[in-house]
């Protein structure tokens, strides 16, 4: 399964890629897809298991993580305001 | 929308925007200035009497339209979200100096493209400086530059800037005695399309830019960062469409000397846009993009637009802005101070992020 993580800053994306935790495979930086957001920042697309979960963001930089589906995206994590 | 359709949409939008910009000149806007975010914010600030340069005083409906076009489409698409709190004062200062850089070059990145499409080769120095400034900004981005995250705000916060645009439109139409208008023949401020033509063009371009996320800085930044050409295609499409209309209308005059609202000092054209390019990367978007994000409810972009407006007022109150005769001594000092301040902001916010 493919996932996309969006961030509050470009640095957040770089850090996420560099410090990729268990279950995150082949992370790559790319512009945030338009369908996902009207913001034009940097996201990380990565491969992960079907049951991939993300519950704690120690960096405070992750905005949301979505799973790619046939019809679009399914949100699996969003930051608490 | 996948990447291929995103690219197609941005090319179509760019062609439409470039054509509209060139047509606005035929409708009365200054030459090679169908749109210029820096110049039009400067004119609006002058219309409000915040600077007294009589040649550039007119509340530009294009700015009102751009912001409202983005606001309306973002509401329709459920993308309007009030947010802010990401180093607002730093953004104000960056916006201020981006304007100082733009008024040294005599145009924002959008007008830089339109100047090239009109045959003004002085803008090539601006383009080189702009790309070089973005390149330096990308180095800071890669090393950890961040102005920290935004936070959700109340809906009212996101509605204030659109409401201000309505007030500006009322002031333009009512034309009370305290609003300034450049006298006919008195300069670029007197050259404008009819109010509702300008407003309509602004609304359309604002909506297109919101839909496609068109950004002059983002194009070069994403190409350097990811070798991604999508936003750059929008850039190129604007140039091609404006060039075709200019050639067809007899508004293409290639050369360096005698270009409208431009000077021939290559070094300061380069440095002005170098400052603008670096400042815009640190802000996360060009002046057009800041207006669009302000319409979407981003108050950090509103603060940036206020910084741009304040920079414009200072530039004309203290003779920092260049003119057709060339850059002023005050302007050269302003750009050098701006380069130092913006580099300090970049370094401090990079170092801080690395330590966190």
Predicted confidence (pLDDT) per residue in B47-89, tens digit: 999 999 999 999 999 999 999 999 999 999 999 999 999 999 9
The mean pLDDT value of chain A amounts to 89
**Residue A42: is its pLDDT beyond 70?**
yes
Rounded distance between C-alpha atoms, residue B140 and residue B343, angstroms: 10
Q: What would the pLDDT profile of A49-67 be if each residue is shown by its tens digit? A: 998 988 878 778 899 999 9
Contacts of B145 in chain A (CB under 8 A): 9-11
Count of domains for chain B: 1
Compute chain A's Rg from CA coordinates: 11
Rounded distance between C-alpha atoms, residue B203 and residue B1, angstroms: 23
Q: Which band of pLDDT confidence, cut at 50, 70 and 90, is reported for residue A39?
A: confident
Rounded to a whole number of angstroms, the distance from the CA of B4 to the nearest CA of chain A is: 11
In percent, the amount of chain B with pLDDT more than 90 equals 96
Name the residue with tokens 């959008």. B110
Cβ neighbours for B141, distance < 8 A, ≥ 6 positions apart = A10, A11, B221, B225, B281
In percent, the amount of chain A with pLDDT more than 90 equals 51
Closest Cβ opposite residue A40 in set B146, B147, B215: B215
Beta pairing class for A2-7 and A62-68 = antiparallel
Check if the beta carbon of residue B114 is closer than 8 Å to that of residue B33: yes
Closest Cβ opposite residue B1 in set A8, A29, A35: A35
Closest Cβ opposite residue B149 in set A8, A31, A33: A8
Count of domains for chain A: 1
Closest Cβ opposite residue B218 in set A29, A40, A81: A40
Rounded distance between C-alpha atoms, residue B273 and residue B128, angstroms: 8
Domain, as residue range, for B175: 3-355
Question: What's the confidence (pLDDT) of residue B166?
Answer: 98
Contacts of B218 in chain A (CB under 8 A): 40
Q: Give the number of C-alpha atoms closer than 13 A to the C-alpha of residue B237, restricted to the C-beta side.
A: 22
Q: Which among B149, B142, B107 is positioned nearest to B281, based on CA atoms? A: B142
Rounded distance between C-alpha atoms, residue A43 and residue A27, angstroms: 10
Q: Which band of pLDDT confidence, cut at 50, 70 and 90, is reported for residue B1?
A: low
Sign of CA dihedral B188, B194, B199, B205: negative
Please state at what angle helix B216-226 crosses helix B230-249, rounded to 10 degrees.
140
Rounded to a whole number of angstroms, the distance from the CA of B249 to the nearest CA of chain A is: 35
Rounded distance between C-alpha atoms, residue B297 and residue A49, angstroms: 36
Chain B residues bordering chain A (beta-carbon distance below 8 Å): 1-3, 6, 9, 74, 77, 79, 86, 141-142, 144-152, 210, 212-213, 215, 218, 222, 225-226, 228, 230-231, 284-285, 289, 296, 353
Cβ neighbours for B122, distance < 8 A, ≥ 6 positions apart = B115, B256, B259, B262, B263, B264, B266, B269
Name the residue with tokens 């920079």. B311
Closest Cβ opposite residue B226 in set A8, A29, A38: A29
Domain, as residue range, for A19: 2-78
Rounded to a whole number of angstroms, the distance from the CA of A41 to the nearest CA of chain B is: 8
Question: What's the confidence (pLDDT) of residue A79?
Answer: 85
The mean pLDDT value of chain B amounts to 96
Q: What would the pLDDT profile of B17-27 be if each residue is shown by its tens digit? A: 999 999 999 99
3-state class (DSSP) for residue B201:
helix
How many Å is the maximal CA-CA distance in chain A?
Answer: 31
Question: What's the confidence (pLDDT) of residue B73?
Answer: 98
Rounded distance between C-alpha atoms, residue B220 and residue B233, angstroms: 10
ipTM, 2 decimals?
0.89
**For residue B182, what is the DSSP state?**
P
Rounded distance between C-alpha atoms, residue B56 and residue B328, angstroms: 17
Total residues found in chain B within this entry? 356
Contacts of B285 in chain A (CB under 8 A): 40
**For residue B298, what is the DSSP state?**
B
| C-beta atoms of A33 and B284 within 8 A | no
φ/ψ of A22, rounded to 5, equals -55, 140
Rounded distance between C-alpha atoms, residue B166 and residue B65, angstroms: 10
Q: What would the pLDDT profile of B152-211 be if each residue is shown by its tens digit? A: 999 999 999 999 999 999 999 999 999 999 999 999 999 999 999 999 999 999 999 999
């Amino acid at each position: 399964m493919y996932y996309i993580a969006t961030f509050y800053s470009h640095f957040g994306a770089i850090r996420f890629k560099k410090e990729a935790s268990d279950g995150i495979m082949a992370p790559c930086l790319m512009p945030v897809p338009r369908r996902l957001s009207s913001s034009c920042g940097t996201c990380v697309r990565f491969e992960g298991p079907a049951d991939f979960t993300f519950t704690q963001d120690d960096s405070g930089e992750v905005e949301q993580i979505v799973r790619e589906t046939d019809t679009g995206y399914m949100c699996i994590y969003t930051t608490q305001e | 929308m996948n990447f291929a359709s995103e690219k197609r949409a941005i090319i179509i939008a760019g062609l439409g925007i470039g054509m509209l910009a060139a047509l606005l000149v035929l409708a009365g806007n200054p030459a090679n200035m169908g749109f210029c975010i820096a110049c039009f914010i400067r004119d609006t600030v002058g219309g409000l009497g915040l600077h007294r340069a009589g040649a550039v005083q007119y509340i530009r409906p294009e700015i009102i339209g751009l912001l409202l076009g983005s606001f309306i489409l973002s509401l329709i698409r459920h993308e309007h979200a009030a947010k802010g709190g990401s180093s607002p004062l730093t953004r104000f200062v960056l916006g201020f100096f981006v304007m100082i850089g733009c008024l040294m070059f005599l145009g924002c990145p959008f007008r830089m493209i339109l100047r090239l499409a009109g045959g003004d080769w002085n803008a090539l120095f601006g383009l080189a400086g702009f790309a070089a400034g973005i390149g330096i900004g990308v180095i800071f981005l890669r090393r950890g530059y961040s102005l920290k995250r935004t936070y959700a705000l109340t809906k009212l916060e996101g509605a204030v800037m659109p409401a201000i645009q309505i007030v500006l439109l009322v002031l333009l139409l009512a034309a009370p005695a305290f609003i300034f208008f450049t006298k006919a023949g008195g300069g670029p401020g007197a050259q404008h399309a009819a109010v509702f033509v300008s407003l309509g063009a602004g609304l359309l371009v604002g909506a297109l830019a919101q839909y496609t996320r068109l950004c002059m800085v983002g194009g070069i930044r994403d190409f350097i960062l990811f070798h991604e050409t999508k936003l750059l295609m929008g850039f190129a499409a604007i140039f091609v469409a404006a060039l075709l209309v200019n050639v067809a209308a007899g508004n293409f005059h290639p050369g360096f000397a005698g270009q409208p609202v431009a000077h021939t000092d290559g070094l300061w054209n380069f440095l002005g846009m170098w400052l603008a390019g670096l400042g815009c990367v640190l802000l996360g978007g060009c002046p057009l993009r800041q207006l669009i994000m302000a319409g979407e409810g981003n108050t950090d972009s509103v603060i940036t637009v206020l910084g741009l407006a304040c920079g414009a007022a200072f530039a004309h109150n203290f003779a920092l802005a260049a003119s057709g005769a060339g850059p002023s001594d005050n302007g050269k000092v302003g750009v050098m101070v701006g380069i130092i301040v913006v580099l300090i902001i970049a370094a401090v916010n990079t170092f801080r992020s690395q330590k966190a």
